[in-house]
Amino acid sequence: MTTEQYPCPNFINGEWSTPDVANFNPVYNPSTGEQISAAPMCDADIVNAAVEAADGAFHDWWQTPPVERIRILFRYKLLLEDKFEELAQSVTREHGKTLQEARGDVRRGIEVVEYACAVTELLKGECLENIARGIDCELQRQPVGICAGICPYNFPALVPMWMYPLAIACGNTFILKPSEKVPLTSIRLIELLEQAGLPKGVLNIVHGGRECVDAILTHPKVNAISFVGSSPVAKYIFETGTQHGKRVQAAGGAKNFVVIMPDAEIPKAVDGMVDSAFGCAGQRCMAGSTAITIGKAADSFIPEMAAAAKALKVGPTDRTPAGQLGAVISPEHRDRIKSLIEQGEAEGADIVVDGRTVSVPDYPEGFYLGPTILDKVQTNMKVHNDEVFGPVLNVIRADDMEQALHVANTCSFGNGCCIYTRSGQLAREFKHRVKAGMVGINVGIPAPMAYFPFSGWDYSFFGDLHIQGREAIYFYTRSKVTTTRWFSQGEGDIWHKDK
C-alpha cells in the first residue's frame, strides 16, 4: 500500500480496500494544479462497517494493559521519526505548504504521540481512605468506547495526530475521517501505525463528505467525536453530535489579533507577523490575520511589513528552488479570498500589498495567491468579520490599548491574541483582559505544545474539554467512583446469622 494509490483506500478491520462508490473527490497538488489521487465519498453503510470493526475490537483493546498499548505507540513514534522526511514531503505535495512548514506539521503531531506514551501516568486515578469511618473511595478513568475524528485540510499530519494517539492510548477504538482534500498523509500515518503492531479494528479510516460525516454523528455506537474546521461546521458538528448523545469537542475558526505597541521591537514584530499572517498561506486557525497598530507604531510597522511581504517568493513548494509561500488548497478557495479582498477595498480599506496579481509562469495551473496587506480596515467590514483563511493581513489603526482590547474582545471568535511590547505592565494587563483562549506575548503564533490544551473560546470552540493536554485525556475517558466498606468477620454477614 502506498499513498500514491489512486483512488484512496479505506482501512477497515485491518484491511485496505477501495470502496465501490459512485462519487470521488479529486485530490490535487496545489503547486501544479495536477490531480494526484481521489477520495471516495463513502456512505452510511461503509461508516457502519468501520464502526462495527471498532466495536468488535474495543473490549480486547480496553483490557490490553496500558503499558502494552504504550509499547505500540513507542514503536510508532520510532517509525514516524524514520519516515519523517517522507511524511513532510507528502504534506507538501497534497497541501501546498512549504517543506519547512510541513516538517513543523509532522513534528507537532509526533509530539502528541510522545505525550500519549505517558498515558500510564495520565490515566492514574485518585483515592481517599476513611471518607467515613472504615469507608474508602477511589476514582478510575475508563475509555468512553468508539471515538471518531473528523479532520480539516490545513494540517494533514498534526490534526489527525491531535486525536487518535491519545484516544487509543486511553483504550478507545477509533474511526478517522481525513479531509477529502488531503487524505494521503493520513493513509501513510495509519500504515505506519499498522506496522507498529496495532491490532485489527482498533483504528479505521473512512473517506467522504457530508453523508459520511452525518453517518458518524448519528451512529448509535459512536460515543465521542473530535472535530477541527470552520466555526459554522463546528457548530453543526457539536449540535448534531450532542443531540445524538455523543461527547463532542469541535474546534472552529478564528480572527486572531496581534497588537503592535509603539514600544515594540518592530523588526522582531515584523518577523513574527510574516510567519503568523502568511505562513501556510494563512490557512490555519492560529494565523495572525489582523494587526492592530497603536499610535505611531503604524508609521514603522506598515512599511517594514509591506517590504517583507513583497520579498516573499511565491511558487511551488515541492520543487527546487522552493517557494517561500505556497499555493492555497483549491481554485475555489483562492477565488473566495480574492472576493474578500475586493470587497474590503470597495468598503474603504487601502491595499498596501496586492497578492491578486501574483504570477508563477512555470506553473500557471497552480492555485497561487500572493501575500496581501489591507490597511485602515474597519470593524464593520466583511474582511474583518469573516475568517479569510488565506495570506491576507488586515491592519486596524487604534489610538491606545483600550481601543485595541475593545476590537479584540468584541469579535465573535476567541482563539488567539498576541501583543508585541517591551512593557511588562502592559503585557500583564493584556494577558489578563483579552478574551481569547491562547495568548502570545512577543510571540506571533501562540499555539501550545502537546501537553497544554488548544484552548479556543467563544465561536472558536464548541464543547467543554479541549484538544491536547490533560483535557484530551479527560475527553477520551470517563470517571468511575467506587465507595468501599469491608466488614469485620461476621459483621453484616446474613449467611452467618442464618446459620
* DSSP string computed for 417-470: EEEE-S-HHHHHHHHHH---SEEEES-S--PPPTTS-B--EETTEESSS-BSHH
Check residue 489 and give its pLDDT: 75
- 77: cell is 513514534
Cα end-to-end span (Å), the chain = 69
Q: Which triple of cell numbers denotes residue 166? A: 491519545
User: What does the mean pLDDT of the chain come to?
Assistant: 95
- For residue 3, what pLDDT band results from cuts at 50, 70 and 90? very low
Nearest Cα residue to 397 out of 353, 350, 430, 440: 350
Q: Distance between CA atoms of 450 and 472, rounded to whole angstroms?
A: 10
- CB–CB of 298/373 below 8 Å? no
Give the mean pLDDT of 327-355.
97
Q: How far apart are CA 360 and CA 324, in angstroms?
A: 13
CA distance 435 to 217: 30
Mean pLDDT of all residues in 31-43: 96
Say if residue 68's pLDDT is above 80.
Answer: yes
Which residues on adjacent β-strands are paired with residue 174? 147, 203
* Amino acid sitting at position 196: A
Q: Predicted confidence band at 494 (pLDDT cuts at 50, 70, 90)? A: low
Phi, psi torsion values for 413, nearest 5 degrees: -85, 170
* pLDDT value, residue 2: 43
C-alpha triplet 2, 84, 252: angle, nearest 5°? 85
Q: Where are the domains of the chain?
A: 10-252+460-483, 257-441
Q: What are phi and psi of 439, to 5 degrees?
A: -120, 140
CA nearest neighbour of 331 among 342, 319, 339: 339
Assigned C-alpha cell, 6: 489512486
pTM of the model: 0.94
Tens of pLDDT, residues 266-317: 999 999 999 999 999 999 999 999 999 999 999 999 999 999 999 999 999 9
Residue 386 buriedness (CB in 10 A; 0-12 / 13-18 / 19+):
middle
- Mean pLDDT score, 388-395: 97
Q: Lowest-confidence range among 31-40, 219-228, 316-325?
A: 316-325
Q: Which pairing describes strands 126-132 and 34-40: parallel, antiparallel, or unpaired? A: unpaired
pLDDT per residue over 145-181, tens digit each?
Answer: 999 999 999 999 999 999 999 999 999 999 999 999 9
CB 322 within 8 A of CB 99: yes
Mean pLDDT to the nearest integer, 81-106? 97
Query: Sheet of 15-17: strands edge to edge?
Result: 15-17, 10-12, 203-205, 173-177, 146-150, 222-228, 247-251, 461-462
In 3D, which of 203, 191, 187 has the Cα closest to residue 58?
Answer: 203
Q: Which grid coordinates are listed for 411?
A: 469579535
Q: What is the predicted pLDDT for the residue at 493? A: 59
Torsion of CA 68, 72, 73, 79, to 10 degrees: 160
pLDDT tens by residue, 246-270: 999 999 999 999 999 999 999 999 9
Task: Name the pLDDT band for 490 (thresholds 50, 70, 90).
Answer: low
- Amino acid code (one letter) for 251: A
On the question of pLDDT at 409 being above 50, the answer is: yes
Quote the radius of gyration of the chain (alpha carbons, Å).
25
Q: Which residue has the cell 514503536?
A: 75
- pLDDT tens readout for residues 176-211: 999 999 999 999 999 999 999 999 999 999 999 999
- Residue 219 φ/ψ, nearest 5 degrees: -70, 130
Fold of 10-252+460-483: Aldehyde Dehydrogenase; Chain A, domain 1 (3.40.605)
Q: Looking at the domain 257-441, which fold is it?
A: Aldehyde Dehydrogenase; Chain A, domain 2 (3.40.309)
Side-chain-facing half-sphere of 100: CA atoms under 13 Å: 8
DSSP state letter for 199 = P
- Rounded to whole angstroms, the Cα distance separating 290 from 292 reads 6
Only one residue has cell 470587497, namely 343
For residue 147, count CB atoms less than 10 angstroms from its CB and return exposed for 0-12, middle for 13-18, buried for 19 or more.
buried
- Bridge partners for 414 per DSSP: 457
Cα dist from 418 to 79, 288, 289, 361, 399, whole Å: 36, 8, 11, 37, 17
10-252+460-483 matches 257-441 in fold: no
Torsion of CA 350, 352, 356, 361, to 10 degrees: 160
Phi, psi of 148 (to 5 degrees): -135, 150
Joined grid coordinates for residue 247: 461527547
Binning the chain into helix, strand and coil, the percentages to the nearest 5 are 40, 20, 35
Q: Catalogue the active-site residues.
A: 285
- State the pLDDT confidence band at 498, using cuts at 50, 70 and 90: low
Ramachandran category for residue 13: left, alpha or beta (phi over 0 → left; psi -120 to 50 → alpha): left
